[in-house]
Structure 1
Amino acid sequence: MNSNKVSEDHQPVLVTLDWGTSSLRGFLMDRQAGVIDQRASSHGIQNLPEPGIPGFEKAFTALCGEWLARWPNLPVVAGGMVGSAQGWVEAPYVACPADVAELARHAGRATTADGRTILIAPGVIDNPADAPPDVMRGEEIQIAGALAAHPALAERASIIMPGTHSKWVAIAASRITRFDTYMTGEVFAVMSKHSILGRLMTSPEEAAAAPAAAEAAFLQGVAAARDSHAGDLLNQLFSVRSLGLTKRLPGDVLKDYLSGLLIGQELTSGLARLRADAGDLPPIVLIGDDGLCNSYRRAMALFDVSPAALLGNTAPAGLFRFATATGTLDRA
Structure 2
Amino acid sequence: MNHLVALDWGTSSLRAARLAGDGRVLEERSLPRGILTVPPGGFPQVFDEVCGDWMRPPEALALICGMAGSRQGWMEAPYCPCPAGFADIAAHLTWIEPGRIAMVPGLTCEQDGVPDVMRGEETQVLGALELLELDAALLVLPGTHSKWVQVAGGRIERFSTFMTGEFYALLRQHSILGRTMPPEDGELDETAFERGVSHALRSSTLLHAAFSARTLALFERLPAAARPSYLSGLVIGEELAAQQLAGGTDVVVVGSEALTRRYEIGLRLLGATAQRAGAQATWRGLRAIASTLEHRQ
- State the TM-score, normalizing by the size of structure 2: 0.94
3-state SS of paired residue (1:291): helix
User: Identity of counterpart residues, as a percentage?
Assistant: 41
> What is the match of residue 187 of structure 1?
167
1:73 is aligned with what amino acid? E
Distance, in Å, in 1 between the alignment partners of 2:99 and 2:292 is: 19
Q: Counterpart of 1:65? A: 52
Report which of the two has the higher share of helix.
1
Q: Is the 8 A contact 2:4 2:18 kept in 1?
A: yes
* Aligned counterparts, 1:72-221, within 5 A: 72-111=58-97, 117-128=100-111, 130-151=112-133, 153-154=134-135, 156-204=136-184, 208=186, 214-221=189-196
SS state at 1:189 partner: helix
Q: What pairs with 1:44-55 in structure 2 (closer than 5 Å)?
A: 44-48=34-38, 51-53=39-41, 55=42
Regions of 4+ moved over 4 Å: none
CA distance in 1, matches of 2:209, 2:142: 21
Q: CA deviation at 1:236?
A: 1.2
- For residue 240 of structure 1, the aligned residue among 199, 210, 213 is 213
- For 2:250, the equivalent position in structure 1 comes to 283
**Alpha-carbon distance in structure 2 between the residues aligned to 1:204 and 1:150:** 36
Give the Cα–Cα distance (whole angstroms) in 2 for the partners of residues 203 and 149 of structure 1. 39
Which residue identity lines up with residue 166 of structure 2 in the other structure? E
Shift of 1:150: 2.1
Which of 28, 34, 38 is the equivalent residue of 1:38? 28
1:219-253, CA deviations, whole angstroms, 9 ceiling, x for partnerless residues? 11011011122xx2111111111211211112111
Per-residue deviation, residues 80-132 of structure 1 (Å, max 9, x unmatched): 11111111111111111111111111111113xxx87311110111114x342
C-alpha distance in 2, partners of 1:327/1:247?
Answer: 64
RMSD, aligned CA: 1.9
Secondary structure of 1:198's aligned partner: helix
SS of residue in 2 equivalent to 1:326: coil
Q: Which residue of 1 aligns with 2:277?
A: 311
Gaps spanning 5+ residues in structure 2: where?
none
1:299-324 CA distances to partner (integer Å, 9 max, x unpaired)? 111111111x1111110111111111
Q: Provide the residue aligned with 1:224 in structure 2.
A: 199
Match of 1:56 in 2: 43
Q: Distance in 1 between matches of 2:158 and 2:54?
A: 38
AA of the residue aligned to 2:120: G
Q: Give the length in aligned residue pairs.
A: 295
- Distance in 2 (CA, whole Å) between partners of 1:327 and 1:283 is 35
Provide the rounded CA distance (Å) in 2 between the counterparts of 1:64 and 1:293.
30
Q: Secondary structure, in 3 states, of the residue corresponding to 1:127?
A: strand
Cα distance in 1 for residues equivalent to 2:293 and 2:249: 30
How has the CA–CA distance of structure 1 residues 37 and 291 changed in structure 2, closer, same or farther, with 3 Å as cutoff? same
SS at match of 2:55: helix
Partner SS state of residue 190, structure 2: helix
Aligned residue identity for 1:195: S
Q: Return closer, same or farther for 1:41/1:91 CA change in 2, 3 Å cut-off.
A: same
Larger radius of gyration: 1
SS at match of 1:52: coil
| 1:56 maps to amino acid | F
2:293 is equivalent to residue 326 of structure 1? yes
**Distance (Å, rounded) in 1 between the aligned partners of 2:51 and 2:262:** 35
Structure 1 residue 72, shift from structure 2 partner: 4.4
